[in-house]
Amino acid sequence: MTLPNGENLERWCHNGRLRLRHWWKATSLGVGLGAFWEFAPQDCESLKQTLHILHEEGLRCFPMGNGTNVVGSDEDFSGVVLQLRDACDQIDIATGETGAAVPIARFLREAAHANRGGLSRLVGIPGQLGGMLAMNAGALGQEIGSRVLSVQGFRNGEPFEWHPTPDDFAYRTCHLPDNFVITSLRIQLDPVDGTSEAALLQEELHRRATSTPRGHSAGSVFRNPPEAPAGKLLELAGCKGLQRGNLQVSQQHANWIVKLDDAPATASDCRALFLEMQRRVLALHGIELQSEWRWM
C-alpha cells in the first residue's frame, strides 16, 4: 500500500493534529529518509474513533513516543503513526495508573514527591512508559514488567484491559496481545522516603549522563547475551570506530551507534553497520547478537 493521501487521512483521523513527518527528524538516532503521517489525538475518545476506523479499513498503525529506540526506514510508511502525548499523559500516583505517553523520569519524580517509588534504576531510560513496557525495558537488574499490574488500551479498535503474568515477560521481551494500543498502565509502587528516593533518582541520572556517549543515538544496539555484556564482545571484535556514512560505532561504548552530524542518516547505512557489528562478534565469539531496537 502506498502512503495514504492527506485528504483521506483527514476523514479517518478524528479530533487531533495530523502532519507529515520524516523518520530521521522524528527519531533520536536520526535515521530514515522515508515519510509517514503522524496523528496525535486530543483525547482517548478521539483515539478510539480513529483506531476503530483504521481497523475497519485494514490500515496499519504504530504508536511511537520520542522514537528513542526506533530506526526509521528509507521507505514511506503505509499507515498511520500515533503520537499519544496529548491523549495519554495523565498520572495518578495514588493508584499507580499512568498514561502510556508519560516519560519514566517524570513519573518517578512525581512518585518520589508523593513518597512512592521502588523503580529508581529505570529513571535514566529516555522512553515513555508504553514503549518501555512493549520491550520490557530495564537497567541494572530492574525491569518495568515486574511492576506492571494491568494495562489499558484498545485492541482491534475496541477497549481492552490486559493483566500480564510473569510468563509474559523476559529479558527485553513483552508478549503483548496482538493489535494492542496501550493507553495507560497501573504500576506497583512502594512506600518510600521521598527525599531519599529523589536522591537515588538524581544519582542514577548522573551515572547515565557520565557513562553514555553524547550525540544522536538510540541507546544500546544489541541485547546482552548470557555469555557476556554485548559491549565487551563488540569491543573485542574491533567494532569501535566502525563507520557507514555519518553513523559510527562510538569510541566510548562499542554497543552504541552515534550520528556524527545533524544531517539525515540512511536506514541502509545503519543496517550495514549493524550487520557488520553482528558479523564480527559471530566470527570471533560464535555468538549471534540480537537487536534491542525497533526497525521500521
- Which residues constitute the domain of residue 220? 214-295
108 and 172 share one domain: yes
Domain endpoint, select from 50, 82, 114: 82
Q: Exposed, middle or buried, 257 (CB in 10 Å: 0-12/13-18/19+)?
A: buried
Q: How far apart are CA 95 and CA 187, in angstroms?
A: 8
227 and 184 share one domain: no
Residue 278 falls inside a structural domain = yes
Q: How distant, in Å, are the alpha carbons of 226, 231, 232, 271 from that of 236?
A: 16, 9, 6, 21
Domain endpoint, select from 27, 56, 82: 82
153 and 181 share one domain: yes
Residue 1 falls inside a structural domain = no
132 and 189 share one domain: yes
The enclosing domain of 77 has a CATH number of 3.30.43.10
Residue 97 falls inside a structural domain = yes
Residue 200 falls inside a structural domain = no
Catalytic annotation present for 250:
no
The enclosing domain of 269 has a CATH number of 3.90.78.10
11 and 68 share one domain: yes
104 and 78 share one domain: no
Q: Which of the residues 220, 244, 250, 280 is marked catalytic?
A: 220
146 and 67 share one domain: no
Q: Could you write out the three-class secondary structure of 186-219?
A: EECCEECCHHHHHHHHHHHHHHHHHHCCCCEEEE
Per-residue pLDDT at 212: 87
15 and 55 share one domain: yes
148 and 169 share one domain: yes
Residue 209 falls inside a structural domain = no
Q: Which of the residues 116, 172, 186, 244 is marked catalytic?
A: 172
Q: Kindly give the interhelix angle for 194-211 and 104-113, rounded to the nearest 10 degrees.
A: 150
Residue 207 falls inside a structural domain = no
Residue 149 falls inside a structural domain = yes
190 and 226 share one domain: no
Catalytic annotation present for 46:
no
Q: How distant, in Å, are the alpha carbons of 95, 220, 231, 248 from that of 123?
A: 20, 16, 21, 27
pLDDT tens, the chain, 296 aa long: 455 555 566 776 778 999 999 999 999 999 999 999 999 999 999 999 999 888 888 888 999 998 999 999 999 998 899 999 999 999 999 888 999 999 999 999 999 999 999 999 999 998 899 999 999 999 888 999 999 999 999 998 899 999 999 999 999 999 999 999 999 999 999 999 999 999 999 999 999 888 889 889 999 999 999 999 999 999 999 999 999 999 999 999 999 999 999 999 999 999 999 999 999 999 999 999 999 999 99
Q: Which of the residues 143, 197, 204, 292 is marked catalytic?
A: 292
Catalytic annotation present for 28:
no
Q: How far apart are CA 229 and CA 233, in angstroms?
A: 7
Residue 31 falls inside a structural domain = yes
Per-residue pLDDT at 1: 42
The total number of structural domains that make up the chain: 3
Q: How far apart are CA 172 and CA 223, in angstroms?
A: 8
67 and 99 share one domain: no
The enclosing domain of 136 has a CATH number of 3.30.465.10
The answer to whether the Cα torsion of 89, 93, 94, 98 is positive or negative is positive
Domain endpoint, select from 19, 49, 82: 82
